[in-house]
Amino acid sequence: MAPRIWTIGYEGLRLEELVAELQAAGVRRVLDVRFRPQSRRAGFSKTRLGATLQEAGIAYENRRTLGTPPDIRWLYRNRRVQEGAEQYRAHLRDTAGEELDALAAELDDGPATALLCFEAQPHECHRRQVTDALRERRPELVVIDL
């Protein structure tokens, strides 16, 4: 069976809806790929989100090294998605190779894992660049966007 990874953005979701989607998909671990895991939305900052997921039987890890640095995030927020994606790909190559290698290696035997960020649309988010980088390491990887 090919390895799988899920992605989800919490934009437009209530916390209980996020948890329900993850549970319905069988996700057992969330990797929060926000550079700053804070949110103005109640329940979506690191500590509260981690506790809520834990109560639901889902492990939570913040992976700041896979987050979008502020200068690149600015590009995404200002609808310069292609430019942001290009700069983020370069950032990943320069800073996160070992972490991506390790994550790619654990997809076979690790828990069902989802990458979490804010943006609802994966093609408008750096999550797509992370999954593309994982596919470079594991071409058979199946990516499921929730």
pLDDT tens for 68-100 read 999 998 998 898 989 999 999 999 999 999 999
Using the predicted structure, report yes or no on whether residue 41 has a pLDDT greater than 90. no
CA distance 112 to 64: 20
Q: Please check whether residue 42 is in contact with residue 14, taking contact to mean a CB–CB distance below 8 angstroms.
A: no
What's the number of CA atoms in the CB half-sphere (13 Å) around residue 2?
10
Q: What is the pTM of this model?
A: 0.92
Q: pLDDT at residue 133 above 90?
A: yes
With contact defined as beta carbons under 8 Å apart, do 48 and 40 qualify? no
* Longest CA pairwise span in the chain (Å): 39
Label residue 37 by pLDDT band (50, 70, 90): confident
Looking at the chain, the whole-number percentage of residues with pLDDT higher than 90 is: 83
Where residue 101 falls among pLDDT bands split at 50, 70, 90?
A: very high
Structural domains of the chain, ranges and CATH numbers in brackets: 4-145 (3.40.1010)
* Contact by Cβ (8 Å): 60, 22: no
Q: Compute the distance between CA of residue 121 and CA of residue 102 in angstroms, rounded to an integer.
A: 26
